[in-house]
Structure 1
């Protein structure tokens, strides 16, 4: 025989009545309406059935032998398992006191016999609906309570980690950057008291050692949505300069957007690192100069003629020695810049001269790589150290040529940014600024590398230093030069299509 689909009953109803005729009538009526019906003639039997398998609703007669309906209802309401089941009394007793007693023992409704079928069905459906809504509300309340408990637990864990963390941590409003909470490590780090910090900004407390660097850091955070291990310098209350790795994340506190700032104090590590780099660089320079001189003598043939194979070996040695000398010079340059031992000699200079000189200086390299240079200079004046800006542009053009293929083009252009948000990523550009661009058609830079390539010894590919002859310090030097001109440098790129480097510099005052 073909199987027949069994529809899900609308509800499970238990009918307790000692009169078989009433049971049969109610059972037939409810079954016809799609309800599952269980019928019993004794109150004690009904209690056992309700406890074993709680129904959705109970229809209960009052006048029954052994145990009347009131007693049955009292037992139901005393049992944790059956307490919430709605009970509708159906009885021939129509006195007001009988009805009041029915409600007093826990009934939800009272129908007087003889009853109307439509009335009973309407009341059943009404109370089943109320019960369903109660269950939904109860479930939602339980879920809400669980979420509240989970949130409280998470907040307790966060508060414990926040207070006990050895790292300086602060919470500030996103809109104004005002501190709303800081941990004890933050107070020990900066030297201020809690009362002096709360409600103030980092700038008001003179914490940033260079406002331009902090502004650039905040902008990067807003563009990326988070920031991790950005090197920033801060001043303590006593004026001591400290270097930190700053990480920033968005958090929501009472529907107020805030930032979570976590600092890692690397002052001592940086000091040791800088001393080590400076010492090693100075110690390397003298022997390298000597080696280079010896190689030049050999290459000039002053010590005799060498075979072709020897010339190749000498060429490799010369190339690698030159690379080492460039690396040492770059390290010393960068360290001197960071320690302010190199002073920017700023004068009024024209952007045309710097851009043309940079292009001419790199023309031979471009010709050798069969790369075309296209320059569109702009006749505007800058207050700058022309030699250092020339160094920056030649470095950027050199990189663009290195990562270009034969017959590619490198464009060098400029435009004046007059208003905020006028173009490109210059949504935060200041007015009266010059935006210089160096654009190539190379392999591009992955998005996760766009921020780190300006750090020391950072390259897109670890093999680039060998293949392209770079030191991994050029962009770090460029960033330092640009920042000392109160400017900004950044990059945008599409993999497989090329990269564009932007240098934003303030124009000279008229």
Structure 2
């Protein structure tokens, strides 16, 4: 148990929610604290070191990550670098007071959502009102009351967590609607047009023309299905609903299956698909995730390879690991673009034939490799081609 002045913590599990919590007992009164709020990042800003020390000693008992600043300028520098969950901000400071610091925080699109609690020795209504006017969410008077400080901080951390979850949910919803409205509408419209043309004019087409339109319809249907599958997988990852079910997988067979799935897309650009995966190679992995990875890497390579090019997929055992790579002879990328692909999710651009993308394939590639405790790499040379590779443990 951790001592806090005259209080102590008693850990327990909330049976209704299954979350880890603590009873904080002080003066024979219990206070419930949710462990999920622990490790929140809090910035304490005060020009008097003793005030920082007192507040930090109270808050560190809940395992918050505490950072401090002794001036408004120093505080703004730290806020630019760290995504804080809460700011405890002294009002009376030299050079730049707390009100001005708060104004600048709220004027910045990237930081305006961070809650600010003012620390003040003043209790005059004018000072309190001014704090709210510049964007403060609460205030605490000095000297600190330990229970009050913990309770107010805990409440605002909880609200900030809820706010972040809502923002993430809204961003997920907006992106999903954007993909549905833009990326799915095009291929579905193509399918509708092709089959309307075939239905209304079937007698005017010779067998070769008829087969050509059927192939186009099939290609559009397959690409739409792949995009929809990516969209559903991506949505599940956003809600942490993807299950990892590893088992023995014949990765050579999976590769053949995925090559067959994209063969029509490749043939339409006269691209040769070469399979150099070790025959009968067995790995312990989630077969659906591996299928998604291979399909997306092949589809991406086809998208960025010019007509008449080559795409080679290889897979070899290297000790306790299995490495796969998809190499194309496509348009390649600059080093700057490669860095963006490695570090960011959702990056997309048009292919050699104007093919559109959603960026979900790259996100799922990196996400699923990570879920296998593996690593990925991207290499490219402009006008020569690219290599997307990943390595996963052969035995989990």
TM-score of the superposition, structure 2-length normalised?
0.50
Residue number in structure 2 paired with 1:414: 315
Q: In the alignment, does 2:166 pair up with 1:277?
A: no
**For residues 98-247 of structure 1, what are the structure 2 equivalents within 5 Å?**
161-165=73-77, 167=79, 169=81, 186=84, 188=86
**Cα pair 1:372 1:407 within 8 Å, conserved:** yes
Task: Work out which of the residue numbers 253, 262, 265 in structure 2 matches 1:362.
Answer: 262
Partners of 1:354 and 1:361 in 2: how far apart? Answer: 11
**Cα pair 2:188 2:220 within 8 Å, conserved:** no
Q: With CA pairs under 8 Å and 6+ residues apart, which has the higher RCO, 1 or 2?
A: 2
Q: In the alignment, does 2:283 pair up with 1:382?
A: yes
SS in structure 2 opposite 1:332? helix
Stretch deviating more after TM superposition (318-327 or 438-447)? 318-327
Task: Work out which of the residue numbers 339, 348, 370 in structure 2 matches 1:451.
Answer: 339
Residue number in structure 2 paired with 1:334: 234
Q: In the alignment, does 2:259 pair up with 1:347?
A: no
**Cα pair 1:281 1:332 within 8 Å, conserved:** no
Q: 1:350 to 1:168 in 2, by over 3 A?
A: farther
Q: 1:497 to 1:342 in 2, by over 3 A?
A: same
Partners of 1:452 and 1:306 in 2: how far apart? Answer: 50
Task: Work out which of the residue numbers 470, 475, 494 in structure 1 matches 2:381.
Answer: 494
Task: Work out which of the residue numbers 323, 337, 344 in structure 2 matches 1:435.
Answer: 323
Partners of 1:491 and 1:443 in 2: how far apart? Answer: 14
Q: 1:92-121: CA deviations, max 9, x gaps?
A: xxxxxxxxxxxxxxxxxxxxxxxxxxxxxx
**Cα pair 2:184 2:227 within 8 Å, conserved:** no
Residue number in structure 1 paired with 2:115: none
Q: 1:323 to 1:371 in 2, by over 3 A?
A: closer
Q: 1:283 to 1:503 in 2, by over 3 A?
A: same
Residue number in structure 1 paired with 2:116: none
Partners of 2:329 and 2:191 in 1: how far apart? Answer: 38
Q: In the alignment, does 2:360 pair up with 1:473?
A: yes
Q: 1:300 to 1:364 in 2, by over 3 A?
A: closer
**Cα pair 1:382 1:507 within 8 Å, conserved:** yes
Q: 1:241 to 1:413 in 2, by over 3 A?
A: farther
SS in structure 2 opposite 1:362? helix
Partners of 2:260 and 2:221 in 1: how far apart? Answer: 26
Q: 1:375 to 1:463 in 2, by over 3 A?
A: closer
Q: 1:177-236: CA deviations, max 9, x gaps?
A: xxxxxxxx74738xxxxxxxxxxxxxxxxxxxxxxxxxxxxxxxxxxxxxxxxxxxxxxx
Residue number in structure 2 paired with 1:138: none
Q: 1:335 to 1:398 in 2, by over 3 A?
A: same
User: Aligned-pair distance for 1:366?
Assistant: 3.0
TM-score of the superposition, structure 1-length normalised?
0.40
Q: 1:304 to 1:492 in 2, by over 3 A?
A: closer
Partners of 1:242 and 1:466 in 2: how far apart? Answer: 45
Partners of 2:373 and 2:159 in 1: how far apart? Answer: 20
User: Aligned-pair distance for 1:324?
Assistant: 7.0
Residue number in structure 2 paired with 1:396: 297
**Cα pair 1:404 1:440 within 8 Å, conserved:** yes
Partners of 2:193 and 2:247 in 1: how far apart? Answer: 40
RMSD across aligned positions (CA): 4.8
SS in structure 1 opposite 2:199? coil
SS in structure 1 opposite 2:86? helix
Partners of 1:347 and 1:490 in 2: how far apart? Answer: 24
User: Aligned-pair distance for 1:492?
Assistant: 0.6
Q: 1:286 to 1:324 in 2, by over 3 A?
A: closer
User: Aligned-pair distance for 1:465?
Assistant: 9.0
User: Aligned-pair distance for 1:384?
Assistant: 1.6
Question: Unmatched 5+ residue regions in structure 2?
Answer: 1-68, 88-153
User: Aligned-pair distance for 1:168?
Assistant: 6.9
SS in structure 1 opposite 2:391? strand
Stretch deviating more after TM superposition (373-382 or 282-291)? 282-291
Q: 1:186 to 1:440 in 2, by over 3 A?
A: same
